[in-house]
Chains A and B, each alone.
Chain A
């Protein structure tokens, strides 16, 4: 990723007049899935969300059948909230930052395929329920206990290096990309890189470190960190470039030193 902010975007040299949006649909949780294809007029700078908005204005499929407008989640439209995450052409990412030009250039075809994330309960169409990620954050105590009856004064100083390392982890927007791409995540078998990395974020903090045992206990369950299969897809798909695998391996070291061989210190 460019660090000076300037990214030269590739564009379609001879853009098509029309392109297709193929959407996986489901009326409600548990209902059967079906596919619908919509034909849209190409415009410059279209992203997946603006294409979906075009469908919503006139929800008629390519074969002329009138249908319901597709449902999806969106909020910030600048890849910081994470809620518009979906599987686009077989790859999980945010739909707000997925440009139609890029997608058509990558696939070489005229169709963009949209699916909801497969690892979360599918509420309707492209909308999923990601609440299990927030339950995982509660299980690993992903916060710092600071409440008290009197002022504790300023916190301890940390080195610039530690602050920067923690900042990288703090960028997590709970979007779910890492869990969707993880071959171990699903059916409650594995807590996943997102919660492990957030536990690491607070274990790195000088005050948060006090509760390290609670966080490690949250990661030592039957669905804990040990289920990591080291496929490292998480770090490849993370839109915020969070060093998720480093968080996992540093936590592995914490567990080996503090938990597995902790009895040697007693």
Chain B
């Protein structure tokens, strides 16, 4: 007898795989690039310029990031709307994680939309109005100016934390839903590893964000190849915000 797949089955599998590749993979690259801000303005802007010089950039942006992100977020909201969370009545860790996965998903829907409009396009009124895309030489100052605003910094920290958790627990859900990790003990250790990954991703992301307002981020400045004498971190000026 031939196996027949339903639409829901295929959409769910596509939703799971788009979360890992390309979106999860992209997040790793994104945090790696951000971390170059530890070494100062010049190093970060060089990294941004290199990204701008990526071959097939528009193709990768549309098919590797934008469309998977659109599908993953819209279908994710549909999945979340079907949940009947009962984490208060049946207060188990895994039941809370079930709730967090949906809560972080909904939060990230808002956050990522804000993040793209804010930095990629520079379209949030009252904040930065210069798109980072195409302006690699201004990128560090644009971001540094944004991160000087306390609520923006807090919002980005929450966004990084939510993404780190959503991705790390999403990897756990992936290996469980594809029948890779089955047994109780195997799942326990895999879950620990994913929680450690979430903490590590948040650490790297938060450190990179802090690097835009403090040289070398959370680390002692001696550890970074920061040429603070020759090119100090520019204090955001009124002009840099008005580009």
Dominant SS among interface residues on chain A: helix
Say yes or no for A257: interface residue by CB 8 A criterion. yes
Contact A258 B176, CB 8 Å, known A183-B95, A232-B95, A250-B182? no
Please choose the segment from A32-40, A59-67, A68-76, A220-228 that sits at the chain B interface, where 4 or more of its residues have CB less than 8 A away. Answer: A220-228
Contact A229 B178, CB 8 Å, known A183-B86, A217-B4? no
- Which residues of A are found within 8 Å of B2, using beta-carbon distances? 213
Find out whether the CB atom of B179 lies under 8 angstroms from the CB atom of A226.
no
- Which residues of B are found within 8 Å of A236, using beta-carbon distances? 90, 92
Distance in angstroms between the alpha carbons of A190 and B198 in the assembled complex? 30
Distance in angstroms between the alpha carbons of A183 and B4 in the assembled complex? 26
- Which residues of A are found within 8 Å of B180, using beta-carbon distances? 253, 256
Q: Which of A220, A229, A254, A257 has its CB near the most chain B CB atoms (within 10 A)?
A: A229
B191 CB to closest chain A CB (Å) equals 10
- Which residues of B are found within 8 Å of A181, using beta-carbon distances? 86, 90
Find out whether the CB atom of B184 lies under 8 angstroms from the CB atom of A252.
no
Say yes or no for A54: interface residue by CB 8 A criterion. no
Find out whether the CB atom of A262 lies under 8 angstroms from the CB atom of B90.
no
Distance in angstroms between the alpha carbons of A243 and B187 in the assembled complex? 13
Say yes or no for A206: interface residue by CB 8 A criterion. no
Q: How many residues of A are in contact with the other chain, CB < 8 A?
A: 42
- Which residues of A are found within 8 Å of B183, using beta-carbon distances? 246
Which residues of B are in contact with A by a Cβ distance under 8 Å?
A: 1-9, 12-13, 82-87, 89-90, 92, 94-95, 97-98, 173, 176-184, 187
Q: In the complex, given contacts A249-B187, A253-B179, A260-B178, what are 19 additional A-B residue pairs having Cβ atoms less than 8 angstroms apart? A: A183-B98, A184-B84, A213-B2, A217-B1, A220-B9, A226-B177, A227-B12, A230-B173, A231-B92, A232-B92, A233-B90, A246-B182, A249-B176, A249-B181, A252-B176, A252-B179, A254-B179, A258-B3, A260-B13
Can you list 20 contacts pairing A with B, beta carbon distance less than 8 Å? Answer: A90-B89, A181-B86, A186-B84, A213-B3, A214-B1, A217-B4, A220-B4, A223-B8, A224-B8, A226-B13, A227-B12, A227-B82, A228-B177, A229-B98, A230-B97, A233-B94, A236-B92, A252-B176, A255-B179, A256-B180
